[in-house]
Amino acid sequence: MPRLRLGGRRSAERFQHPTRTLAGGFGAAVLVGTGLLSLPVATESGQRADVVDALFTATSAVCVTGLVTVDTSGHWSMFGELVILALIQAGGLGIMTLATLFTVLWSRRLALRSRLLAQAETKVLGLHGIRRVVRNIVLFSLAVEGVVALILTVWFARTDDFGQAVYHGAFHAVSAFNNAGFSLNADSLIGYVDDPVVNLTIAAAVIVGGLGFPVVFELARSWRRPRTWSVLTRITVTLTAVLLLAGTLVFTVSERSNPATFGPLSGSEKLLAGFFHSTMTRTAGFNSVDIAAMRPESLFATDLLMFIGGGSAGTAGGIKVTTFGLLAYVIWSEMRGESSVIVGRRRIPAGNQRQALAIALLGIGAVAVCTFTLLALTHHSLDLVLFEVVSAFGTVGLSAGITGDLPPVGVLLLVGLMFVGRVGPLTAASALALRERTRRFERPEERTIVG
Protein backbone atom coordinates (compact mmCIF):
# COMPACT_ATOMS: atom_id res chain seq x y z
CA MET A 1 0.00 0.00 0.00
CA PRO A 2 1.59 3.34 -1.01
CA ARG A 3 2.41 5.73 1.79
CA LEU A 4 0.28 8.83 2.04
CA ARG A 5 2.53 11.80 1.32
CA LEU A 6 0.28 14.60 2.48
CA GLY A 7 2.34 16.59 4.94
CA GLY A 8 5.48 14.59 4.20
CA ARG A 9 7.54 12.49 6.53
CA ARG A 10 7.12 14.80 9.52
CA SER A 11 3.34 14.39 9.42
CA ALA A 12 3.75 10.63 9.35
CA GLU A 13 6.07 10.80 12.35
CA ARG A 14 3.60 12.97 14.27
CA PHE A 15 0.88 10.42 13.56
CA GLN A 16 3.09 7.70 15.00
CA HIS A 17 3.55 9.75 18.19
CA PRO A 18 0.18 10.84 19.61
CA THR A 19 2.07 11.87 22.75
CA ARG A 20 3.45 14.81 20.76
CA THR A 21 -0.06 15.98 19.99
CA LEU A 22 -1.00 15.36 23.61
CA ALA A 23 1.82 17.62 24.82
CA GLY A 24 0.91 20.13 22.13
CA GLY A 25 -2.71 20.17 23.34
CA PHE A 26 -1.67 21.01 26.87
CA GLY A 27 0.74 23.62 25.56
CA ALA A 28 -1.99 25.24 23.47
CA ALA A 29 -4.30 25.35 26.50
CA VAL A 30 -1.57 27.06 28.51
CA LEU A 31 -1.08 29.69 25.81
CA VAL A 32 -4.82 30.35 25.52
CA GLY A 33 -5.10 30.64 29.29
CA THR A 34 -2.13 32.99 29.41
CA GLY A 35 -3.74 35.21 26.79
CA LEU A 36 -7.07 35.35 28.64
CA LEU A 37 -5.43 36.05 31.99
CA SER A 38 -3.38 38.84 30.38
CA LEU A 39 -6.56 40.77 29.54
CA PRO A 40 -7.30 43.80 31.76
CA VAL A 41 -10.72 42.35 32.63
CA ALA A 42 -9.02 39.37 34.26
CA THR A 43 -7.61 41.38 37.18
CA GLU A 44 -9.31 43.18 40.05
CA SER A 45 -7.37 46.35 39.32
CA GLY A 46 -8.35 46.42 35.65
CA GLN A 47 -4.68 46.54 34.66
CA ARG A 48 -2.98 43.94 32.52
CA ALA A 49 -1.40 41.20 34.60
CA ASP A 50 2.31 40.61 34.36
CA VAL A 51 2.85 38.10 31.58
CA VAL A 52 4.99 35.88 33.83
CA ASP A 53 2.22 35.77 36.47
CA ALA A 54 -0.37 35.03 33.78
CA LEU A 55 1.78 32.26 32.27
CA PHE A 56 2.54 30.73 35.66
CA THR A 57 -1.11 30.78 36.76
CA ALA A 58 -2.34 29.34 33.44
CA THR A 59 0.26 26.55 33.57
CA SER A 60 -0.55 25.83 37.20
CA ALA A 61 -4.27 25.60 36.35
CA VAL A 62 -3.93 23.45 33.21
CA CYS A 63 -1.43 21.20 34.97
CA VAL A 64 -3.81 21.10 38.00
CA THR A 65 -0.99 22.12 40.33
CA GLY A 66 -2.19 25.01 42.46
CA LEU A 67 1.07 26.90 42.92
CA VAL A 68 0.57 30.65 42.58
CA THR A 69 2.72 33.75 42.37
CA VAL A 70 -0.22 36.05 43.22
CA ASP A 71 -3.26 35.59 45.46
CA THR A 72 -6.06 33.98 43.42
CA SER A 73 -8.98 35.83 45.02
CA GLY A 74 -7.15 39.11 45.63
CA HIS A 75 -5.47 39.54 42.25
CA TRP A 76 -7.86 38.00 39.72
CA SER A 77 -11.37 39.23 38.99
CA MET A 78 -14.34 36.88 38.70
CA PHE A 79 -13.59 36.60 34.99
CA GLY A 80 -10.03 35.59 35.79
CA GLU A 81 -11.21 33.09 38.40
CA LEU A 82 -13.62 31.54 35.91
CA VAL A 83 -10.81 31.26 33.36
CA ILE A 84 -8.72 29.47 35.99
CA LEU A 85 -11.64 27.18 36.79
CA ALA A 86 -12.11 26.30 33.11
CA LEU A 87 -8.39 25.58 32.74
CA ILE A 88 -8.49 23.33 35.79
CA GLN A 89 -11.41 21.37 34.37
CA ALA A 90 -9.75 21.05 30.97
CA GLY A 91 -6.44 19.98 32.47
CA GLY A 92 -8.04 17.51 34.85
CA LEU A 93 -10.11 15.72 32.25
CA GLY A 94 -7.35 15.92 29.72
CA ILE A 95 -7.19 18.06 26.62
CA MET A 96 -7.36 15.04 24.35
CA THR A 97 -10.25 13.49 26.28
CA LEU A 98 -12.28 16.66 25.81
CA ALA A 99 -11.31 16.85 22.16
CA THR A 100 -12.45 13.26 21.67
CA LEU A 101 -15.76 14.02 23.39
CA PHE A 102 -16.40 16.98 21.09
CA THR A 103 -15.55 14.83 18.08
CA VAL A 104 -18.13 12.26 19.18
CA LEU A 105 -20.79 14.92 19.76
CA TRP A 106 -20.22 16.69 16.47
CA SER A 107 -19.61 13.90 14.00
CA ARG A 108 -20.91 10.82 15.82
CA ARG A 109 -17.80 9.16 14.44
CA LEU A 110 -14.41 8.53 15.97
CA ALA A 111 -11.38 8.30 13.71
CA LEU A 112 -8.47 6.03 14.55
CA ARG A 113 -6.22 9.02 15.24
CA SER A 114 -8.67 10.43 17.79
CA ARG A 115 -8.94 7.02 19.42
CA LEU A 116 -5.17 6.79 19.72
CA LEU A 117 -5.02 10.26 21.29
CA ALA A 118 -7.76 9.40 23.77
CA GLN A 119 -5.96 6.15 24.56
CA ALA A 120 -2.75 8.04 25.32
CA GLU A 121 -4.60 10.39 27.69
CA THR A 122 -6.89 7.90 29.47
CA LYS A 123 -4.32 5.07 29.56
CA VAL A 124 -6.93 2.61 28.22
CA LEU A 125 -5.12 -0.53 27.09
CA GLY A 126 -7.40 -1.25 24.13
CA LEU A 127 -8.94 0.80 21.34
CA HIS A 128 -12.37 -0.76 21.70
CA GLY A 129 -14.91 1.26 23.62
CA ILE A 130 -12.95 4.52 23.71
CA ARG A 131 -16.11 6.47 22.96
CA ARG A 132 -17.92 4.92 25.91
CA VAL A 133 -14.89 5.39 28.19
CA VAL A 134 -14.58 9.08 27.37
CA ARG A 135 -18.30 9.61 27.93
CA ASN A 136 -18.15 7.82 31.28
CA ILE A 137 -15.13 9.87 32.35
CA VAL A 138 -16.90 13.15 31.69
CA LEU A 139 -20.20 12.07 33.28
CA PHE A 140 -18.46 10.62 36.31
CA SER A 141 -16.34 13.76 36.78
CA LEU A 142 -19.33 16.08 36.55
CA ALA A 143 -21.37 13.89 38.91
CA VAL A 144 -18.69 13.83 41.61
CA GLU A 145 -18.06 17.55 41.28
CA GLY A 146 -21.80 18.20 41.50
CA VAL A 147 -22.19 16.17 44.71
CA VAL A 148 -19.16 17.81 46.33
CA ALA A 149 -20.31 21.27 45.25
CA LEU A 150 -23.76 20.64 46.75
CA ILE A 151 -22.33 19.54 50.11
CA LEU A 152 -19.92 22.48 50.30
CA THR A 153 -22.57 24.96 49.20
CA VAL A 154 -24.97 23.86 51.93
CA TRP A 155 -22.19 24.02 54.50
CA PHE A 156 -20.81 27.39 53.40
CA ALA A 157 -24.36 28.85 53.25
CA ARG A 158 -24.55 28.65 57.04
CA THR A 159 -22.23 31.63 57.35
CA ASP A 160 -21.92 33.11 53.83
CA ASP A 161 -24.30 34.74 51.39
CA PHE A 162 -26.04 32.02 49.35
CA GLY A 163 -24.65 33.23 46.01
CA GLN A 164 -21.14 33.32 47.42
CA ALA A 165 -21.64 29.90 48.98
CA VAL A 166 -22.68 28.45 45.60
CA TYR A 167 -19.67 30.01 43.87
CA HIS A 168 -17.17 28.93 46.53
CA GLY A 169 -18.69 25.45 46.73
CA ALA A 170 -18.51 24.89 42.97
CA PHE A 171 -15.00 26.34 42.65
CA HIS A 172 -13.55 24.22 45.46
CA ALA A 173 -15.38 21.12 44.22
CA VAL A 174 -13.83 21.36 40.76
CA SER A 175 -10.45 22.23 42.23
CA ALA A 176 -10.58 19.31 44.69
CA PHE A 177 -11.73 16.58 42.30
CA ASN A 178 -9.13 17.65 39.74
CA ASN A 179 -6.44 17.69 42.43
CA ALA A 180 -5.68 21.31 41.60
CA GLY A 181 -5.51 22.94 45.03
CA PHE A 182 -6.62 26.41 43.91
CA SER A 183 -8.63 28.14 46.63
CA LEU A 184 -10.55 31.39 46.78
CA ASN A 185 -9.29 31.92 50.34
CA ALA A 186 -5.98 33.70 50.82
CA ASP A 187 -4.94 31.11 53.43
CA SER A 188 -6.32 28.11 51.51
CA LEU A 189 -8.29 26.05 54.08
CA ILE A 190 -6.45 27.05 57.26
CA GLY A 191 -9.66 28.58 58.57
CA TYR A 192 -11.33 25.15 58.33
CA VAL A 193 -8.60 23.11 60.03
CA ASP A 194 -11.07 21.83 62.68
CA ASP A 195 -14.07 21.50 60.33
CA PRO A 196 -14.69 17.78 59.59
CA VAL A 197 -17.31 18.42 56.88
CA VAL A 198 -15.07 20.62 54.73
CA ASN A 199 -11.96 18.52 55.36
CA LEU A 200 -13.51 15.10 54.74
CA THR A 201 -15.59 16.23 51.75
CA ILE A 202 -12.62 17.75 49.95
CA ALA A 203 -10.38 14.84 50.95
CA ALA A 204 -12.89 12.36 49.51
CA ALA A 205 -13.03 14.28 46.22
CA VAL A 206 -9.24 14.34 46.06
CA ILE A 207 -8.93 10.60 46.70
CA VAL A 208 -11.59 9.66 44.13
CA GLY A 209 -10.07 11.94 41.49
CA GLY A 210 -6.57 10.72 42.27
CA LEU A 211 -7.29 7.00 42.02
CA GLY A 212 -7.49 7.16 38.24
CA PHE A 213 -10.49 6.56 36.00
CA PRO A 214 -9.67 2.93 35.05
CA VAL A 215 -9.41 1.99 38.74
CA VAL A 216 -12.62 3.81 39.68
CA PHE A 217 -14.55 2.11 36.89
CA GLU A 218 -13.20 -1.32 37.78
CA LEU A 219 -14.04 -0.82 41.45
CA ALA A 220 -17.58 0.21 40.47
CA ARG A 221 -17.95 -3.05 38.54
CA SER A 222 -16.30 -5.52 40.91
CA TRP A 223 -15.64 -3.92 44.31
CA ARG A 224 -17.04 -7.03 46.01
CA ARG A 225 -14.62 -9.35 44.16
CA PRO A 226 -11.09 -8.11 44.94
CA ARG A 227 -9.59 -11.38 43.67
CA THR A 228 -10.68 -10.44 40.16
CA TRP A 229 -9.05 -7.00 40.25
CA SER A 230 -6.41 -6.18 37.67
CA VAL A 231 -2.80 -5.55 38.66
CA LEU A 232 -3.35 -1.81 38.15
CA THR A 233 -6.28 -1.72 40.59
CA ARG A 234 -4.57 -3.93 43.16
CA ILE A 235 -1.43 -1.82 43.28
CA THR A 236 -3.29 1.49 43.20
CA VAL A 237 -5.83 0.66 45.92
CA THR A 238 -3.33 -1.06 48.21
CA LEU A 239 -0.63 1.59 47.99
CA THR A 240 -3.13 4.44 48.22
CA ALA A 241 -4.47 3.05 51.49
CA VAL A 242 -0.98 2.33 52.85
CA LEU A 243 0.40 5.76 51.95
CA LEU A 244 -2.65 7.59 53.32
CA LEU A 245 -2.39 5.72 56.61
CA ALA A 246 1.38 6.10 56.87
CA GLY A 247 1.20 9.81 56.06
CA THR A 248 -1.54 10.37 58.63
CA LEU A 249 0.49 8.71 61.36
CA VAL A 250 3.74 10.48 60.43
CA PHE A 251 2.24 13.96 60.27
CA THR A 252 0.10 13.53 63.38
CA VAL A 253 3.05 12.34 65.43
CA SER A 254 5.65 14.77 64.10
CA GLU A 255 3.41 17.86 64.31
CA ARG A 256 1.43 17.05 67.46
CA SER A 257 3.50 19.38 69.68
CA ASN A 258 4.24 22.06 67.06
CA PRO A 259 2.53 25.23 68.37
CA ALA A 260 2.40 26.71 64.86
CA THR A 261 0.54 23.77 63.28
CA PHE A 262 -1.17 20.91 65.18
CA GLY A 263 -0.25 22.01 68.72
CA PRO A 264 -3.42 24.03 69.57
CA LEU A 265 -5.74 21.32 68.20
CA SER A 266 -7.48 18.61 70.23
CA GLY A 267 -6.61 14.93 69.79
CA SER A 268 -9.30 14.21 67.19
CA GLU A 269 -8.55 17.49 65.40
CA LYS A 270 -4.86 16.56 65.21
CA LEU A 271 -5.80 13.26 63.57
CA LEU A 272 -8.12 15.06 61.15
CA ALA A 273 -5.41 17.55 60.23
CA GLY A 274 -2.89 14.73 59.77
CA PHE A 275 -5.25 12.80 57.50
CA PHE A 276 -6.09 15.93 55.49
CA HIS A 277 -2.43 16.81 54.94
CA SER A 278 -1.61 13.21 54.03
CA THR A 279 -4.42 13.28 51.46
CA MET A 280 -3.30 16.60 50.01
CA THR A 281 0.19 15.26 49.35
CA ARG A 282 -1.48 13.00 46.76
CA THR A 283 -1.12 16.13 44.54
CA ALA A 284 -4.15 18.11 45.70
CA GLY A 285 -2.45 21.20 47.12
CA PHE A 286 -4.93 22.47 49.73
CA ASN A 287 -3.49 23.11 53.17
CA SER A 288 -5.20 23.46 56.56
CA VAL A 289 -2.03 24.50 58.43
CA ASP A 290 0.90 26.78 57.62
CA ILE A 291 3.25 24.65 55.51
CA ALA A 292 6.28 26.87 56.17
CA ALA A 293 5.86 26.28 59.93
CA MET A 294 5.98 22.49 59.69
CA ARG A 295 8.94 20.59 61.09
CA PRO A 296 11.77 19.50 58.73
CA GLU A 297 10.84 15.82 59.08
CA SER A 298 7.27 16.61 58.06
CA LEU A 299 8.47 18.56 55.03
CA PHE A 300 10.71 15.65 54.00
CA ALA A 301 7.86 13.13 54.39
CA THR A 302 5.67 15.45 52.32
CA ASP A 303 8.37 15.55 49.62
CA LEU A 304 8.36 11.76 49.37
CA LEU A 305 4.58 11.48 49.17
CA MET A 306 4.30 14.31 46.64
CA PHE A 307 6.91 12.69 44.43
CA ILE A 308 5.03 9.38 44.43
CA GLY A 309 1.70 11.08 43.71
CA GLY A 310 -1.59 9.34 42.94
CA GLY A 311 -3.07 6.86 40.51
CA SER A 312 -2.49 6.59 36.78
CA ALA A 313 -4.96 8.06 34.26
CA GLY A 314 -6.51 10.29 36.90
CA THR A 315 -6.20 13.89 37.96
CA ALA A 316 -3.21 13.30 40.23
CA GLY A 317 0.44 13.90 39.39
CA GLY A 318 3.79 12.54 40.59
CA ILE A 319 5.44 9.45 39.19
CA LYS A 320 2.23 7.59 40.21
CA VAL A 321 1.71 4.87 42.80
CA THR A 322 1.71 2.26 40.02
CA THR A 323 5.26 3.21 39.08
CA PHE A 324 6.35 3.15 42.71
CA GLY A 325 4.62 -0.19 43.29
CA LEU A 326 6.13 -1.83 40.21
CA LEU A 327 9.62 -0.73 41.25
CA ALA A 328 9.01 -2.19 44.71
CA TYR A 329 8.00 -5.51 43.14
CA VAL A 330 11.07 -5.43 40.89
CA ILE A 331 13.33 -4.95 43.92
CA TRP A 332 11.53 -7.71 45.81
CA SER A 333 11.94 -10.10 42.88
CA GLU A 334 15.66 -9.30 42.62
CA MET A 335 16.12 -9.87 46.35
CA ARG A 336 14.46 -13.27 46.00
CA GLY A 337 16.52 -14.15 42.94
CA GLU A 338 13.49 -14.51 40.67
CA SER A 339 13.83 -13.80 36.97
CA SER A 340 10.20 -12.66 36.60
CA VAL A 341 8.26 -9.98 38.44
CA ILE A 342 5.01 -11.44 39.74
CA VAL A 343 2.12 -9.38 41.11
CA GLY A 344 -0.62 -11.60 42.46
CA ARG A 345 -0.96 -14.25 39.78
CA ARG A 346 0.25 -12.09 36.93
CA ARG A 347 3.72 -11.63 35.41
CA ILE A 348 4.69 -8.03 34.65
CA PRO A 349 6.19 -7.55 31.15
CA ALA A 350 9.76 -6.29 30.90
CA GLY A 351 8.49 -3.26 28.99
CA ASN A 352 6.40 -2.14 31.97
CA GLN A 353 9.40 -2.52 34.25
CA ARG A 354 11.54 -0.36 31.97
CA GLN A 355 8.83 2.28 31.77
CA ALA A 356 8.55 2.46 35.55
CA LEU A 357 12.33 2.76 35.90
CA ALA A 358 12.52 5.43 33.18
CA ILE A 359 9.72 7.52 34.71
CA ALA A 360 11.26 7.37 38.18
CA LEU A 361 14.77 8.26 37.01
CA LEU A 362 13.56 11.05 34.74
CA GLY A 363 11.55 12.44 37.63
CA ILE A 364 14.52 12.31 40.00
CA GLY A 365 16.70 13.95 37.36
CA ALA A 366 14.22 16.77 36.73
CA VAL A 367 13.84 17.46 40.46
CA ALA A 368 17.61 17.37 41.04
CA VAL A 369 18.44 19.75 38.18
CA CYS A 370 15.73 22.25 39.09
CA THR A 371 16.63 22.15 42.79
CA PHE A 372 20.29 22.83 42.02
CA THR A 373 19.37 25.68 39.68
CA LEU A 374 17.01 27.37 42.15
CA LEU A 375 19.57 27.04 44.94
CA ALA A 376 22.02 28.91 42.71
CA LEU A 377 19.44 31.60 41.83
CA THR A 378 17.98 32.24 45.28
CA HIS A 379 18.99 32.52 48.93
CA HIS A 380 16.44 30.01 50.21
CA SER A 381 17.46 26.87 52.08
CA LEU A 382 17.58 23.40 50.55
CA ASP A 383 14.51 22.06 52.37
CA LEU A 384 12.28 24.91 51.15
CA VAL A 385 13.59 24.86 47.59
CA LEU A 386 13.31 21.07 47.34
CA PHE A 387 9.76 21.26 48.70
CA GLU A 388 8.71 23.81 46.07
CA VAL A 389 10.37 21.88 43.25
CA VAL A 390 8.82 18.53 44.19
CA SER A 391 5.46 20.23 44.58
CA ALA A 392 5.75 21.64 41.06
CA PHE A 393 6.91 18.37 39.53
CA GLY A 394 4.21 16.37 41.31
CA THR A 395 1.62 19.01 40.29
CA VAL A 396 0.70 19.24 43.97
CA GLY A 397 0.48 22.93 44.75
CA LEU A 398 1.53 22.84 48.39
CA SER A 399 3.91 25.71 49.00
CA ALA A 400 6.33 26.78 51.68
CA GLY A 401 5.72 30.37 50.61
CA ILE A 402 8.76 31.02 48.42
CA THR A 403 7.16 30.82 44.94
CA GLY A 404 6.22 34.50 44.95
CA ASP A 405 9.79 35.45 45.93
CA LEU A 406 11.47 33.63 43.04
CA PRO A 407 13.12 35.63 40.24
CA PRO A 408 11.48 35.46 36.78
CA VAL A 409 13.95 32.79 35.66
CA GLY A 410 13.03 30.65 38.67
CA VAL A 411 9.32 31.13 37.98
CA LEU A 412 9.77 30.04 34.36
CA LEU A 413 11.75 27.04 35.56
CA LEU A 414 8.80 25.95 37.69
CA VAL A 415 6.49 26.53 34.72
CA GLY A 416 8.47 24.01 32.69
CA LEU A 417 8.59 21.59 35.61
CA MET A 418 4.82 21.73 36.13
CA PHE A 419 4.27 21.05 32.44
CA VAL A 420 6.61 18.07 32.46
CA GLY A 421 5.02 16.80 35.67
CA ARG A 422 1.51 16.93 34.19
CA VAL A 423 2.26 15.51 30.77
CA GLY A 424 4.53 12.90 32.30
CA PRO A 425 8.31 12.47 32.04
CA LEU A 426 8.06 9.58 29.59
CA THR A 427 5.42 11.33 27.48
CA ALA A 428 7.44 14.54 27.42
CA ALA A 429 10.54 12.65 26.32
CA SER A 430 8.58 10.95 23.54
CA ALA A 431 7.07 14.26 22.44
CA LEU A 432 10.52 15.83 22.13
CA ALA A 433 12.13 12.90 20.33
CA LEU A 434 12.99 13.68 16.72
CA ARG A 435 12.22 10.21 15.46
CA GLU A 436 11.80 6.63 16.56
CA ARG A 437 14.58 4.23 15.73
CA THR A 438 14.06 0.50 15.36
CA ARG A 439 17.18 -1.58 15.96
CA ARG A 440 17.50 -4.18 13.20
CA PHE A 441 20.16 -6.23 14.92
CA GLU A 442 21.40 -7.09 18.42
CA ARG A 443 24.90 -6.66 19.81
CA PRO A 444 26.69 -9.46 21.68
CA GLU A 445 25.70 -9.63 25.35
CA GLU A 446 28.23 -8.83 28.09
CA ARG A 447 27.51 -8.60 31.81
CA THR A 448 29.04 -5.88 33.98
CA ILE A 449 29.54 -5.37 37.70
CA VAL A 450 26.55 -3.75 39.39
CA GLY A 451 26.84 -2.20 42.84
How many C-beta atoms surround the C-beta of residue 160 within 10 A? 15
What are the distances in angstroms from CA 297 to CA 135, 278, 282, 303, 432? 43, 14, 18, 10, 37
Q: What is the pLDDT of residues 210-266, one digit of tens each?
A: 998 888 888 988 888 888 888 889 999 999 999 999 999 999 999 999 999 999 999
Per-residue pLDDT of 363-421, as tens digits, reads 999 999 999 999 999 999 999 999 999 999 999 999 998 998 899 999 999 999 999 98
The model carries a pTM of 0.88
State the DSSP string of 113-147.
Answer: HHHHHHHHHH--SSSTTHHHHHHHHHHHHHHHHHH
What is the pLDDT, as a whole number, of residue 19? 66
- Rounding to the nearest 10 degrees, give the CA dihedral for residues 28, 75, 382, 248: -90
CA distance 391 to 414: 10
145-187 pLDDT per residue, tens: 999 999 999 999 999 899 999 999 999 999 999 999 999 998 9
Q: Is the pLDDT of residue 13 over 50?
A: no
CA 324, 57, 414, 315: dihedral to nearest 10 degrees? 10
State residue 5's pLDDT score.
44
**Tens digits of per-residue pLDDT, 67-107?**
999 999 889 999 999 999 999 999 988 765 765 555 555 55
- Sequence-distant (6+) residues with CB within 8 A of 178 are 64, 88, 89, 91, 92, 93, 209, 315
